[in-house]
Structure 1
Amino acid sequence: MSTLSLPGRINPAFRRTAALAFTLLCAGCNFTVTPPQRPVEVTPPPAAINSLTLDQYRSVVAQRIIERNPSYVLRGTPQAMLRSLVVVSFVVDRNGQIVASNVYRTNGDDEAESTALATLRRSAPLPLPPPKLLNAKGQVEMFEDWLFNDNGKFQLRTFASPQAQTID
């Protein structure tokens, strides 16, 4: 039976690892481990994400109203003498909910007024307003004009076609 000394029984790879660990331990005060650098994520500033102006937001809202009320929308050229012009004032909160709406100006056409307010309500929730447009209450107040033909269909002034030049 042969006897091996302790150094002969230790695995050579383990011996090298132990020697390296001992060397690093001795130099510990002067040794700094620097982790690999992560790629830098470039995030655009909030202003770049929410850069819609009030006019641009008004267009987005008008598009939503048109999409939600296709049977009420007038396609083509509005007649020369409109049946009614209804200006609606409305307040949108940060979640796109309409918190208030009323007729701001009208010629007294009750049916057109009702249609304007109803089509606005059917469009809720509206697209979220950009934070930079919100007031201290977290809301934005807007106006939109509903231009009605005699048949009760409307165009919104934001996307209205030029009116006909002659009365038919």
Structure 2
Amino acid sequence: MLALLLGTAAGCTVTPPPKPLFSLPATAPSQRLDTAALEQYRQRVAQRILERSPSSVLHGTPQAMLRSVVVVAFTVDGNGQIVSSSVYRSNGDSGAERIALAALRRAAPLPQPPPDLLDGRGHLELLEDWLFNNNGKFQLREFALPQATTID
């Protein structure tokens, strides 16, 4: 019986959890990441993006079946300058990807992040989701309304 258990266990593999894609700022053991400050900063960034792209913003309820969801990864320095940006996830809608990246660029410089959110290089890495309707207008996940429940 023991041989059967050992043989079964030998055939199993253990997959370690994936490494995080984005690192949180390094903090001393006595400090904790201020998640409230991070959330407030994310909202300020989203608000800036919306303010700088008013003609692209979807007002009202997003449709039930979105045209596209584009997740953009970007890095901000301590002055609010965008150091890098790229499409992190998409359904391949290149038009929506271009709109999302252009909206981010128009928003620069972004608000200055709180210093305690910066990593050792003085940067903060963020993700934001752009939710697109068929008409090419978007909402950001930070402020998105619930989607419609029926397909028109």
| 1:126-166 CA-partner distances (Å, limit 9, x unpaired) | 00000000000001000000000000000000000000000
Percent pairwise identity = 69
The 5 Å alignment of 1:96-111 reads: 96-111=80-95
Moved over 3 A (4+): none
Higher relative contact order (CA 8 A, sep 6+): 2
Superposition RMSD in Å: 1.3
Paired residue secondary structure (1:76): coil
Residue 63 (structure 1) aligned to one of 38, 47, 51: 47
Quote the Cα distance in structure 1 between the aligned partners of 2:126 and 2:74.
5
Aligned letter for 1:138? G
**Which structure has the bigger radius of gyration?**
1
Q: Which amino acid aligns with 1:148?
A: F
Whole-Å Cα distance in 2 between the matches of residues 85 and 151 of structure 1?
A: 13
Q: Which has the larger share of helix?
A: 1
Task: Look up the equivalent residue of 1:67 and give its one-letter code.
Answer: E
Q: Aligned-pair distance for 1:104? A: 0.3
Q: Report SS of the residue matched to 2:148.
A: coil
Structure 1: 5+ residue stretches without partners: 1-49
Aligned length: 119
1:51/1:79 CA distance change after superposition, 3 Å: closer
AA aligned opposite 1:54: L
Secondary structure of 1:90's counterpart equals strand
TM-score, normalization by structure 1? 0.69
Q: Partner residue of 1:142?
A: 126
Q: Separation in 2 of the partners of 1:53 and 1:166? A: 36
Partner of 1:130: 114
CA contact (8 A) 1:51 1:130 kept: no
Give the one of 36, 53, 73 matched to 1:89.
73
